[in-house]
Amino acid sequence: MLLKHGEIFLKGRNRHRFTERLHDNLRIALRGIGGSTWIKDTQNVTVLGGEVPLDALVERARRVVGFASVEPAVRVPSTLDDVTRAGVDALRGLLADRPVRSFAVRSRRRDKQFPLTSSQVDVHVGARVKEALPQLTVDLKRPEVLLSVEIDRKETYLSWTRLPGLSGLPVGSSGRALVLLSGGYDSPVAAHRAMRRGLSCDFVHFNGAPYTNPSSVYKAYALARELNRCQPPGRLHVIALGKAQKQLAVAGAGRLQVVAQRRLMVRTASALAARTRAEALVTGDSLGQVASQTLANMAAVDEAASLPVLRPLVGWDKQEIIDEAHAIGTAGISVLPDEDCCQLLAPPRVSTRAGLPQLRAVERRLDLDEVVAVLLDHVQVMVPGDGAEQSVSGPSCATPVPVSS
Protein backbone atom coordinates (compact mmCIF):
# COMPACT_ATOMS: atom_id res chain seq x y z
CA MET A 1 0.00 0.00 0.00
CA LEU A 2 1.29 3.46 -0.93
CA LEU A 3 0.62 6.28 1.51
CA LYS A 4 1.28 9.59 -0.24
CA HIS A 5 2.42 12.35 2.11
CA GLY A 6 0.42 15.57 2.46
CA GLU A 7 1.91 19.00 2.99
CA ILE A 8 4.96 17.76 4.87
CA PHE A 9 6.63 17.43 1.46
CA LEU A 10 6.80 21.25 1.55
CA LYS A 11 9.00 21.17 4.65
CA GLY A 12 12.70 21.83 4.33
CA ARG A 13 15.58 20.57 6.42
CA ASN A 14 13.30 19.49 9.28
CA ARG A 15 11.10 17.31 7.07
CA HIS A 16 12.55 14.20 8.70
CA ARG A 17 11.06 15.30 12.04
CA PHE A 18 7.57 15.43 10.55
CA THR A 19 8.08 12.11 8.78
CA GLU A 20 9.21 10.41 11.99
CA ARG A 21 6.14 11.73 13.81
CA LEU A 22 3.92 10.55 10.95
CA HIS A 23 5.36 7.05 11.12
CA ASP A 24 5.08 6.96 14.92
CA ASN A 25 1.38 7.82 14.61
CA LEU A 26 0.94 5.16 11.93
CA ARG A 27 2.51 2.53 14.19
CA ILE A 28 0.11 3.52 16.98
CA ALA A 29 -2.85 3.29 14.59
CA LEU A 30 -1.75 -0.23 13.60
CA ARG A 31 -1.71 -1.56 17.16
CA GLY A 32 -3.99 -4.53 17.70
CA ILE A 33 -4.60 -5.04 13.99
CA GLY A 34 -4.15 -8.78 14.37
CA GLY A 35 -0.98 -9.47 12.38
CA SER A 36 2.52 -8.29 11.58
CA THR A 37 3.03 -5.11 9.56
CA TRP A 38 5.99 -3.27 8.09
CA ILE A 39 6.68 0.32 7.07
CA LYS A 40 9.15 1.50 4.44
CA ASP A 41 9.98 5.16 3.86
CA THR A 42 10.67 6.55 0.41
CA GLN A 43 10.67 10.14 -0.81
CA ASN A 44 7.25 11.65 -0.01
CA VAL A 45 5.68 8.18 0.09
CA THR A 46 5.34 5.61 2.86
CA VAL A 47 4.98 1.98 1.82
CA LEU A 48 2.86 -0.13 4.19
CA GLY A 49 2.42 -3.89 4.10
CA GLY A 50 1.79 -6.84 6.37
CA GLU A 51 0.19 -10.19 7.01
CA VAL A 52 -3.26 -8.72 7.57
CA PRO A 53 -6.30 -8.17 5.32
CA LEU A 54 -5.95 -5.23 2.95
CA ASP A 55 -9.23 -3.67 4.09
CA ALA A 56 -7.92 -3.51 7.66
CA LEU A 57 -4.71 -1.81 6.55
CA VAL A 58 -6.67 0.72 4.48
CA GLU A 59 -9.02 1.55 7.37
CA ARG A 60 -6.18 2.11 9.83
CA ALA A 61 -4.04 4.11 7.41
CA ARG A 62 -6.88 6.47 6.50
CA ARG A 63 -7.21 7.44 10.17
CA VAL A 64 -3.70 8.89 10.26
CA VAL A 65 -3.46 12.65 9.75
CA GLY A 66 -0.72 13.57 7.30
CA PHE A 67 -1.34 11.21 4.37
CA ALA A 68 -2.94 12.86 1.34
CA SER A 69 -3.98 9.56 -0.23
CA VAL A 70 -4.02 5.83 0.44
CA GLU A 71 -3.41 3.59 -2.57
CA PRO A 72 -3.61 -0.22 -2.38
CA ALA A 73 -0.80 -1.57 -4.57
CA VAL A 74 1.03 -4.63 -5.85
CA ARG A 75 4.80 -4.99 -5.56
CA VAL A 76 6.96 -6.50 -8.31
CA PRO A 77 10.68 -6.55 -9.16
CA SER A 78 11.89 -3.48 -11.03
CA THR A 79 12.28 -5.06 -14.45
CA LEU A 80 10.38 -3.90 -17.50
CA ASP A 81 8.89 -7.35 -18.10
CA ASP A 82 7.63 -7.68 -14.51
CA VAL A 83 6.18 -4.18 -14.49
CA THR A 84 4.44 -4.72 -17.83
CA ARG A 85 3.03 -8.10 -16.83
CA ALA A 86 1.72 -6.69 -13.54
CA GLY A 87 0.05 -3.80 -15.37
CA VAL A 88 -1.74 -6.12 -17.78
CA ASP A 89 -2.81 -8.44 -14.94
CA ALA A 90 -4.14 -5.50 -12.91
CA LEU A 91 -6.35 -4.22 -15.73
CA ARG A 92 -7.51 -7.73 -16.60
CA GLY A 93 -8.52 -8.28 -12.98
CA LEU A 94 -10.43 -5.00 -12.91
CA LEU A 95 -12.33 -5.94 -16.08
CA ALA A 96 -13.39 -9.19 -14.42
CA ASP A 97 -14.88 -7.24 -11.50
CA ARG A 98 -16.56 -4.32 -13.26
CA PRO A 99 -16.94 -2.71 -16.67
CA VAL A 100 -14.01 -0.47 -17.59
CA ARG A 101 -13.78 1.43 -20.85
CA SER A 102 -10.70 3.63 -20.61
CA PHE A 103 -7.34 3.77 -18.84
CA ALA A 104 -4.08 5.67 -18.66
CA VAL A 105 -0.64 4.92 -17.23
CA ARG A 106 1.33 7.40 -15.10
CA SER A 107 4.84 6.40 -14.10
CA ARG A 108 7.36 7.94 -11.75
CA ARG A 109 10.93 6.73 -12.05
CA ARG A 110 12.62 7.19 -8.69
CA ASP A 111 15.50 5.01 -9.86
CA LYS A 112 17.15 7.10 -12.56
CA GLN A 113 19.21 4.05 -13.61
CA PHE A 114 16.06 2.36 -14.92
CA PRO A 115 16.59 1.95 -18.70
CA LEU A 116 13.39 3.80 -19.73
CA THR A 117 12.19 7.26 -18.85
CA SER A 118 8.85 7.72 -17.10
CA SER A 119 7.16 8.68 -20.37
CA GLN A 120 8.63 5.66 -22.13
CA VAL A 121 7.32 3.38 -19.38
CA ASP A 122 3.87 4.93 -19.81
CA VAL A 123 3.91 4.22 -23.53
CA HIS A 124 5.35 0.72 -23.21
CA VAL A 125 2.99 -0.51 -20.48
CA GLY A 126 -0.01 1.21 -22.07
CA ALA A 127 0.70 -0.40 -25.44
CA ARG A 128 0.96 -3.87 -23.91
CA VAL A 129 -2.29 -3.38 -21.97
CA LYS A 130 -4.03 -2.23 -25.16
CA GLU A 131 -2.63 -5.19 -27.04
CA ALA A 132 -3.80 -7.69 -24.42
CA LEU A 133 -7.15 -5.98 -23.77
CA PRO A 134 -8.23 -4.37 -27.05
CA GLN A 135 -11.66 -3.43 -25.66
CA LEU A 136 -9.99 -0.73 -23.58
CA THR A 137 -9.25 2.73 -24.94
CA VAL A 138 -6.51 5.10 -23.83
CA ASP A 139 -7.77 8.37 -22.33
CA LEU A 140 -5.00 10.58 -21.00
CA LYS A 141 -7.34 13.32 -19.75
CA ARG A 142 -10.16 11.54 -17.92
CA PRO A 143 -9.43 7.82 -17.68
CA GLU A 144 -11.78 5.58 -15.73
CA VAL A 145 -8.71 3.79 -14.37
CA LEU A 146 -5.39 5.50 -13.75
CA LEU A 147 -2.61 2.93 -13.39
CA SER A 148 0.13 4.47 -11.25
CA VAL A 149 3.64 3.00 -11.51
CA GLU A 150 6.28 3.91 -8.89
CA ILE A 151 9.70 2.59 -9.90
CA ASP A 152 12.34 2.18 -7.18
CA ARG A 153 15.74 0.55 -7.51
CA LYS A 154 14.70 -2.98 -6.56
CA GLU A 155 10.92 -2.84 -6.37
CA THR A 156 8.11 -1.25 -8.35
CA TYR A 157 4.64 -0.54 -6.99
CA LEU A 158 1.54 -0.46 -9.18
CA SER A 159 -1.73 1.00 -7.91
CA TRP A 160 -5.05 1.82 -9.54
CA THR A 161 -7.27 2.89 -6.63
CA ARG A 162 -6.72 6.25 -4.93
CA LEU A 163 -8.53 6.84 -1.63
CA PRO A 164 -8.40 10.29 -0.02
CA GLY A 165 -6.54 10.65 3.26
CA LEU A 166 -6.84 13.30 5.97
CA SER A 167 -3.82 15.30 4.73
CA GLY A 168 -2.62 18.02 7.12
CA LEU A 169 0.33 17.87 9.51
CA PRO A 170 1.07 14.81 11.67
CA VAL A 171 -0.70 14.95 15.02
CA GLY A 172 1.74 16.14 17.68
CA SER A 173 4.06 17.98 15.30
CA SER A 174 2.57 21.36 16.29
CA GLY A 175 2.27 20.77 20.03
CA ARG A 176 -0.53 19.89 22.44
CA ALA A 177 -3.93 21.52 22.96
CA LEU A 178 -6.87 21.12 25.32
CA VAL A 179 -10.27 21.06 23.60
CA LEU A 180 -13.38 22.32 25.39
CA LEU A 181 -15.62 19.48 24.23
CA SER A 182 -19.38 19.83 24.44
CA GLY A 183 -21.93 17.39 23.05
CA GLY A 184 -22.85 19.50 20.02
CA TYR A 185 -21.68 19.57 16.42
CA ASP A 186 -19.15 22.37 16.72
CA SER A 187 -16.44 21.43 19.20
CA PRO A 188 -15.74 17.92 17.78
CA VAL A 189 -15.29 19.43 14.31
CA ALA A 190 -12.99 22.09 15.79
CA ALA A 191 -10.98 19.35 17.52
CA HIS A 192 -10.64 17.43 14.28
CA ARG A 193 -9.47 20.56 12.48
CA ALA A 194 -6.93 21.22 15.23
CA MET A 195 -5.59 17.67 14.87
CA ARG A 196 -5.17 18.20 11.14
CA ARG A 197 -2.96 21.18 11.91
CA GLY A 198 -0.67 18.93 13.94
CA LEU A 199 -2.07 19.46 17.45
CA SER A 200 -2.29 16.52 19.81
CA CYS A 201 -5.58 17.01 21.68
CA ASP A 202 -6.80 16.24 25.16
CA PHE A 203 -10.40 17.07 26.01
CA VAL A 204 -12.27 18.71 28.87
CA HIS A 205 -16.04 18.39 29.20
CA PHE A 206 -18.04 20.52 31.63
CA ASN A 207 -21.37 19.05 32.71
CA GLY A 208 -24.05 20.53 34.95
CA ALA A 209 -23.87 17.91 37.70
CA PRO A 210 -25.31 17.60 40.26
CA TYR A 211 -28.24 19.46 38.63
CA THR A 212 -28.22 17.61 35.29
CA ASN A 213 -28.15 13.94 34.38
CA PRO A 214 -24.96 12.34 32.98
CA SER A 215 -26.22 12.15 29.38
CA SER A 216 -23.73 14.77 28.21
CA VAL A 217 -20.90 12.67 29.65
CA TYR A 218 -22.04 9.73 27.51
CA LYS A 219 -21.81 11.93 24.46
CA ALA A 220 -18.48 13.52 25.36
CA TYR A 221 -16.95 10.09 25.90
CA ALA A 222 -18.31 8.79 22.60
CA LEU A 223 -17.13 11.90 20.75
CA ALA A 224 -13.66 11.73 22.28
CA ARG A 225 -13.44 8.05 21.39
CA GLU A 226 -14.36 8.82 17.77
CA LEU A 227 -11.82 11.66 17.61
CA ASN A 228 -9.13 9.49 19.17
CA ARG A 229 -9.32 7.27 16.10
CA CYS A 230 -7.31 10.01 14.36
CA GLN A 231 -4.60 10.50 16.99
CA PRO A 232 -2.68 8.74 19.75
CA PRO A 233 -5.46 8.57 22.36
CA GLY A 234 -6.08 11.83 24.19
CA ARG A 235 -7.52 12.00 27.70
CA LEU A 236 -11.02 13.18 28.53
CA HIS A 237 -11.40 15.28 31.68
CA VAL A 238 -14.94 15.63 33.02
CA ILE A 239 -15.65 18.54 35.38
CA ALA A 240 -18.94 19.03 37.24
CA LEU A 241 -19.72 22.73 36.88
CA GLY A 242 -23.26 22.86 38.27
CA LYS A 243 -22.50 24.19 41.76
CA ALA A 244 -20.13 26.83 40.39
CA GLN A 245 -22.79 27.91 37.90
CA LYS A 246 -25.21 28.35 40.77
CA GLN A 247 -22.62 30.44 42.63
CA LEU A 248 -22.36 32.78 39.63
CA ALA A 249 -26.15 33.09 39.48
CA VAL A 250 -26.36 33.87 43.21
CA ALA A 251 -23.59 36.46 42.73
CA GLY A 252 -25.92 38.34 40.39
CA ALA A 253 -24.63 37.40 36.93
CA GLY A 254 -28.08 37.86 35.38
CA ARG A 255 -27.81 38.43 31.62
CA LEU A 256 -24.05 37.89 31.94
CA GLN A 257 -24.53 34.33 33.23
CA VAL A 258 -23.57 32.50 30.02
CA VAL A 259 -20.47 34.63 29.38
CA ALA A 260 -19.48 34.40 33.05
CA GLN A 261 -19.75 30.61 32.81
CA ARG A 262 -17.61 30.60 29.69
CA ARG A 263 -14.98 32.70 31.47
CA LEU A 264 -14.98 30.24 34.34
CA MET A 265 -14.62 27.35 31.90
CA VAL A 266 -11.58 28.81 30.14
CA ARG A 267 -10.06 29.85 33.47
CA THR A 268 -10.46 26.29 34.74
CA ALA A 269 -9.30 24.81 31.42
CA SER A 270 -6.20 27.03 31.52
CA ALA A 271 -5.32 25.68 34.96
CA LEU A 272 -5.94 22.13 33.75
CA ALA A 273 -3.79 22.78 30.67
CA ALA A 274 -0.88 23.65 32.93
CA ARG A 275 -1.13 20.13 34.35
CA THR A 276 -1.45 18.44 30.95
CA ARG A 277 1.26 20.61 29.33
CA ALA A 278 -1.18 21.90 26.73
CA GLU A 279 -0.06 25.07 24.99
CA ALA A 280 -3.46 26.29 23.78
CA LEU A 281 -7.20 25.88 24.25
CA VAL A 282 -9.51 24.95 21.37
CA THR A 283 -13.21 25.80 21.20
CA GLY A 284 -15.94 25.32 18.61
CA ASP A 285 -16.99 28.97 18.57
CA SER A 286 -18.27 30.39 15.29
CA LEU A 287 -18.50 34.16 15.10
CA GLY A 288 -22.06 35.37 15.62
CA GLN A 289 -23.62 31.89 15.62
CA VAL A 290 -25.22 32.45 19.03
CA ALA A 291 -25.46 35.43 21.36
CA SER A 292 -22.53 34.30 23.50
CA GLN A 293 -20.26 34.14 20.44
CA THR A 294 -20.26 37.78 19.39
CA LEU A 295 -16.88 39.42 18.95
CA ALA A 296 -17.27 41.35 22.20
CA ASN A 297 -18.18 38.22 24.16
CA MET A 298 -15.32 36.23 22.64
CA ALA A 299 -12.93 38.98 23.72
CA ALA A 300 -14.40 38.89 27.23
CA VAL A 301 -13.91 35.13 27.40
CA ASP A 302 -10.35 35.31 26.08
CA GLU A 303 -9.43 37.82 28.77
CA ALA A 304 -9.98 35.10 31.40
CA ALA A 305 -7.65 32.62 29.68
CA SER A 306 -3.94 32.37 30.35
CA LEU A 307 -3.35 30.52 27.06
CA PRO A 308 -4.19 31.25 23.42
CA VAL A 309 -7.80 30.30 22.60
CA LEU A 310 -7.93 28.79 19.11
CA ARG A 311 -11.23 28.83 17.19
CA PRO A 312 -10.81 26.77 14.01
CA LEU A 313 -14.46 27.32 13.02
CA VAL A 314 -14.67 31.06 13.60
CA GLY A 315 -15.62 31.74 9.96
CA TRP A 316 -17.78 28.67 9.31
CA ASP A 317 -21.57 28.70 9.07
CA LYS A 318 -23.68 26.09 10.82
CA GLN A 319 -24.41 23.98 7.75
CA GLU A 320 -20.72 23.77 6.90
CA ILE A 321 -20.05 22.53 10.43
CA ILE A 322 -22.85 19.94 10.28
CA ASP A 323 -21.64 18.69 6.89
CA GLU A 324 -18.11 18.30 8.25
CA ALA A 325 -19.45 16.49 11.33
CA HIS A 326 -21.10 13.95 9.02
CA ALA A 327 -17.85 13.58 7.07
CA ILE A 328 -15.74 12.84 10.16
CA GLY A 329 -18.30 10.57 11.84
CA THR A 330 -19.34 12.68 14.84
CA ALA A 331 -22.75 13.91 13.65
CA GLY A 332 -24.59 10.76 14.70
CA ILE A 333 -23.36 11.26 18.27
CA SER A 334 -23.85 15.02 18.40
CA VAL A 335 -27.51 14.77 17.36
CA LEU A 336 -28.39 12.65 20.41
CA PRO A 337 -30.33 14.47 23.17
CA ASP A 338 -28.58 15.45 26.39
CA GLU A 339 -28.73 17.94 29.24
CA ASP A 340 -26.23 20.63 28.33
CA CYS A 341 -24.68 22.60 31.18
CA CYS A 342 -24.78 25.77 29.05
CA GLN A 343 -28.58 25.76 29.30
CA LEU A 344 -28.51 25.42 33.07
CA LEU A 345 -29.46 28.76 34.69
CA ALA A 346 -29.23 30.50 31.31
CA PRO A 347 -31.16 33.82 31.30
CA PRO A 348 -34.04 34.40 28.84
CA ARG A 349 -31.86 36.94 27.04
CA VAL A 350 -28.08 36.63 26.83
CA SER A 351 -26.00 39.79 26.73
CA THR A 352 -24.36 40.18 23.33
CA ARG A 353 -21.82 42.71 24.63
CA ALA A 354 -20.77 41.63 28.10
CA GLY A 355 -18.68 44.32 29.74
CA LEU A 356 -15.50 43.36 31.55
CA PRO A 357 -16.14 45.71 34.51
CA GLN A 358 -19.54 44.09 35.14
CA LEU A 359 -18.14 40.57 34.75
CA ARG A 360 -15.27 41.30 37.13
CA ALA A 361 -17.72 42.75 39.65
CA VAL A 362 -19.65 39.46 39.65
CA GLU A 363 -16.45 37.43 39.91
CA ARG A 364 -15.16 39.48 42.85
CA ARG A 365 -18.10 38.21 44.88
CA LEU A 366 -16.58 34.74 44.58
CA ASP A 367 -13.20 33.34 45.49
CA LEU A 368 -12.38 32.29 41.93
CA ASP A 369 -9.08 30.65 42.83
CA GLU A 370 -10.90 28.48 45.36
CA VAL A 371 -13.71 27.71 42.89
CA VAL A 372 -11.22 26.57 40.25
CA ALA A 373 -9.24 24.53 42.77
CA VAL A 374 -12.39 22.70 43.91
CA LEU A 375 -13.39 21.99 40.32
CA LEU A 376 -9.99 20.51 39.52
CA ASP A 377 -9.91 18.50 42.75
CA HIS A 378 -12.97 16.59 41.53
CA VAL A 379 -12.05 16.13 37.88
CA GLN A 380 -12.61 12.69 36.35
CA VAL A 381 -10.02 11.47 33.84
CA MET A 382 -10.62 8.83 31.17
CA VAL A 383 -8.85 7.64 28.02
CA PRO A 384 -11.56 6.85 25.47
CA GLY A 385 -10.40 4.33 22.90
CA ASP A 386 -11.35 1.27 20.94
CA GLY A 387 -10.93 -1.12 23.85
CA ALA A 388 -13.43 -2.83 26.08
CA GLU A 389 -16.43 -1.09 27.62
CA GLN A 390 -15.43 1.38 30.30
CA SER A 391 -17.33 3.22 33.00
CA VAL A 392 -17.42 6.75 34.29
CA SER A 393 -17.71 7.34 38.00
CA GLY A 394 -16.81 10.04 40.45
CA PRO A 395 -18.21 12.95 42.43
CA SER A 396 -20.36 14.21 39.54
CA CYS A 397 -22.16 10.89 39.06
CA ALA A 398 -23.99 9.09 41.82
CA THR A 399 -23.53 5.75 40.04
CA PRO A 400 -21.19 4.50 37.34
CA VAL A 401 -22.20 5.53 33.84
CA PRO A 402 -21.64 2.69 31.33
CA VAL A 403 -20.34 3.83 27.97
CA SER A 404 -21.29 1.36 25.29
CA SER A 405 -19.11 0.49 22.32
For the segment 22-42, what is each residue's pLDDT rounded down to a tens digit? 999 999 999 999 999 999 998
Q: Which residues contact 137 (CB under 8 A, 6 or more apart)?
A: 101, 102, 103
Q: Which residues of 375-391 are buried (b: 16+ CB within 10 A; e: fewer)?
A: beeebbebebeeeeebe
**Does 49 carry a binding-site annotation?**
no
Q: Which band of pLDDT confidence, cut at 50, 70 and 90, is reported for residue 386?
A: low
- pLDDT at position 12: 86
Pinpoint the residues of the chain covered by CATH 3.40.50.620: 176-382
pTM, 2 dp:
0.90
pLDDT at 302 over 70: yes
Average pLDDT over residues 2-21: 93
pLDDT at 13 over 60: yes
**Does 203 carry a binding-site annotation?**
no
Read out DSSP for 256-270? GHHHHHHHHHHHHHH
Q: What is the pLDDT of residues 311-357, one digit of tens each?
A: 999 999 999 999 999 999 999 999 999 998 888 888 889 999 999 99
Is 3.30.70.1510 the CATH classification of the domain at 1-72? yes
Is 3.40.50.620 the CATH classification of the domain at 176-382? yes
Half-sphere exposure of 142 (CA within 13 A, CB side): 0
- When computed from its CA atoms, the radius of gyration of the chain, rounded to whole angstroms, is 26
- When the pLDDT of each residue in the chain is averaged and rounded to a whole number, the result is 93
**Does 284 carry a binding-site annotation?**
yes
- pLDDT at position 393: 37
- pLDDT at position 361: 97
**Does 262 carry a binding-site annotation?**
yes
Q: Please state, for a pLDDT cut of 90, what percent of the chain lies above it.
A: 90
**Does 293 carry a binding-site annotation?**
yes
**Does 315 carry a binding-site annotation?**
no
**Does 206 carry a binding-site annotation?**
yes
Q: Which band of pLDDT confidence, cut at 50, 70 and 90, is reported for residue 396?
A: very low
How far apart are alpha carbons 11 and 312 in whole angstroms? 23
Structural fold of domain 73-160: VC0802-like (3.30.2130)
Pinpoint the residues of the chain covered by CATH 3.30.2130.30: 73-160
